[in-house]
Amino acid sequence: MPKPTLFFACLFALPLFGACQTPVPIPDYVKHNYDKTEVYIPMRDGKKLFTAIYTPKDHSHPWPFLMERSPYSSGPYGDTLYRGNLGPSSRLMRGGFIFVYQDVRGRYMSEGDFQEMTPAKDHKKGSKETDESTDTWDTVDWLLKNIANNNGRVGLWGISYPGFYASASLPDAHPAIKAVSPQAPVTDEFIGDDANHNGAFFLLDNFDFDNSFDIPRPAPVTNYDRTLFRADIRDAYDFFLKLGPVKNSNNAEYFNHQGKIWDEYLGHSTYDEYWRARNIRTHLKDIKPAVLVVGGWFDAEDMFGALRTYEAIEKQSTPNRNYLVMGPWTHGGWAGKTWTKFGPLDFQQNVNEYYHAVESEFFNHYLKDSAFTQPQAEATVFETGANQWKHYDTWPPKQAIPVKYLFQYDHRLGTDRAGLTGHDEYISDPANPVPYIDGVHGGRDNRYIVTDQRFAAARPDVLTYQTDPLTDSVTVTGRLKADIWLSSTGTDADLIVKLIDVLPGKEDGIATTTDPTSYQRLVRAEVFRCKFRNSFEKPEPLVPGKPTEVSFDLNEIDHVFKKGHRIMVQVQSSWFPLVDRNPQTFVNIPTAKESDFQKATIRIWHDEAHPSGIFLPVLK
């Protein structure tokens, strides 16, 4: 579950935050320029939330508040112990704000009970009923009345899980809240964030994360100094294959039903009330503060959250001041001072320098009335492949026209229906699932989202379709949609669809020690659990042998497939251990037995009656 602590982020060789990208501490700057106060702020139900407040030593004029609410600690604890940096960036730290850090209800030093993604309540039953919106309101109200030298304005930001709390401040926001920036916000954990994608459980992330996060806390603590169990995972593929069915995760040596959140996840395998109540999107209506939503094209955790939060506000709040920034980042990569490369990609610029200017102007404008040096674009988006920032007045841009690239005979990909005939097939074996990445990895390597897919193309259980070399560049900008006709000898299946840029040679910022010719660079991929093809609430079995249409959205891209490159699509039915194995029988997967896991022959149809393919929004 990728709402990672910095400790968790640093476990892997290339961590979730991309080289642990956090604002670089400036020695003693905070202590020399800010005074620190620790308080317990009372909520309307009587619970008190621990809050650390850093006020500028400069009292020459009033300052706005800039606050982060987090389940990951507001430490260091103690009036004489200072953070190494403040705010989203050093630029804002030096800009003059009253910085506020708060432990959310039930975490670290705050009172109360913690809930996973606290459900928002549009209609409170009484004056003492709470959710994250009321906790934010009560905190803001207290700060305005008790912290001297403030200008009456408040901004909030947060990355990942703290991004959720930023989003949760928006419904019925306190009128003093003027600017909010949800960054990679956890948003809907069944459809596209963290826990599940389209009903498929993200095993690797959640097994690791919940082991350190899902620890009982009978009383406030300054440190969660243990994990639920010890697991020395050197080869995640081998470990989880030997673990067997997901239910074995609750054996005595692992979770053993000690993990409240883990048991909640496994106990809710459809889009039931548990998940629907935690979908913050439905509550993002009539939003008054200005909003800057930030996400990364290579965020393996909450790319969905950023894109869908922006979308929800656009659709449900008119008029609005709602803006989007999407850059070439992994999870939280924009927080660091520099970001010039990721995995094999070289962006040939420090993209963070540009972003930090956008972010700073947003908060300075709405909290201090500073003028924008240039108009705030509706969508500020980094175009991969071309390595340039683009600005759009709508997102996705209206100029992008969906074009269906069809699977054709002889594994070709094209827009011409003349190539439609027959089907291709493969045997999907749960005992030999397709790895999500090449090589041996102990934890999740977040570079998988951009790496070479030739290792997968070489397998007999992966189908590949590709165009001829492009005679002109093709720019794809917007949301993708897979439209696949599938049949199986089983009664359930997973469908993983990958969009790939095939390079003709060593170029385009791809750095690899292997032969770069025909390098298959992953651009976007997504999984869909086929029993949810008609409803996430009411799964239905596949009818063995019957072609069935499975259509689903993939997250947006803004990517240039250059002249001479090929556009490729790969199709497979496992992505392990990133995603748990589908037994390929119609059962409740969290309680499935080893005997439920069966081989199945998967056919992908591409004839006139069953034209499988992928819709790409081509920018004209």
CA dihedral 337, 339, 343, 348 (to 10 degrees): -150
The total number of residues shown for the chain amounts to 620
The two tokens of residue 337 are 């001072």
The 10s digit of each residue's pLDDT in 278-305 is: 999 999 999 999 999 999 999 999 999 9
Query: If pLDDT is split at 50, 70 and 90, which confidence band does 371 have?
Result: confident
Predicted TM-score (pTM) of the model is 0.94
Q: 13 exposed, middle or buried (CB, 10 Å; 0-12, 13-18, 19+)? A: exposed
pLDDT in tens, 54-98: 999 999 999 999 999 999 999 999 999 999 999 999 999 999 999
Average pLDDT over residues 456-465: 98
In this structure, which amino acid lies at residue 11?
Answer: L
Share of the chain above pLDDT 70, in %: 94
Is the model's pLDDT at 133 over the cut of 80?
yes
Question: By three-state DSSP, how is residue 446 classified?
Answer: helix
Helix spans in 269-386 (H) = 273-276, 303-316, 351-368
Q: Read off the pLDDT band of 506 (50, 70, 90).
A: low
pLDDT band at 502 (very low <50, low <70, confident <90, very high): very high
What's the pLDDT band for 217 if we cut at 50, 70, 90?
very high
Which pLDDT tens digit goes with each residue over 397-429?
Answer: 999 999 999 999 999 999 999 989 999 999 999
**Are the C-beta atoms of 604 and 612 separated by less than 8 Å?**
yes
Is the pLDDT at 389 greater than 70? The verdict is: yes
Q: Residue 593 in 3-state DSSP?
A: coil
Mean of pLDDT over the chain: 93
d(CA 104, CA 70): 6
- What band does 620 get if pLDDT is binned at 50, 70 and 90? confident
Q: What pLDDT, on the 0 to 100 scale, is given for residue 514? A: 52
What percent of the chain is predicted at pLDDT more than 90? 91
pLDDT at 517: 62
Mean per-residue pLDDT, 36-47 = 98
pLDDT at 516 exceeding the cut of 60: no
Q: Are 236 and 577 in contact (CB under 8 A)?
A: yes
Tell me the per-residue pLDDT of 327-362, one tens digit each, with 9 for 90 and over.
999 999 999 999 999 999 999 999 999 999 999 999
> What is the residue whose two structure tokens read 């997102």?
395
pLDDT digits (tens, 9 = 90+) for 168-204: 999 999 999 999 999 999 999 999 999 999 999 999 9
Between CA 184 and CA 162 the distance in angstroms is 9
Confidence of residue 518 (pLDDT cuts 50, 70, 90): confident
Contact of 437 with 449, CB cutoff 8 Å: no
Phi, psi of 118 (to 5 degrees): -40, 120
For 461-479, what is the mean pLDDT? 98
pLDDT at 215 over 60: yes
Rounded-to-5 percentages of helix, strand, coil across the chain: 20, 30, 50
Residue 25's pLDDT band, with cuts at 50, 70 and 90, is: low
Report the distance separating Cα 290 and Cα 502, nearest Å.
40
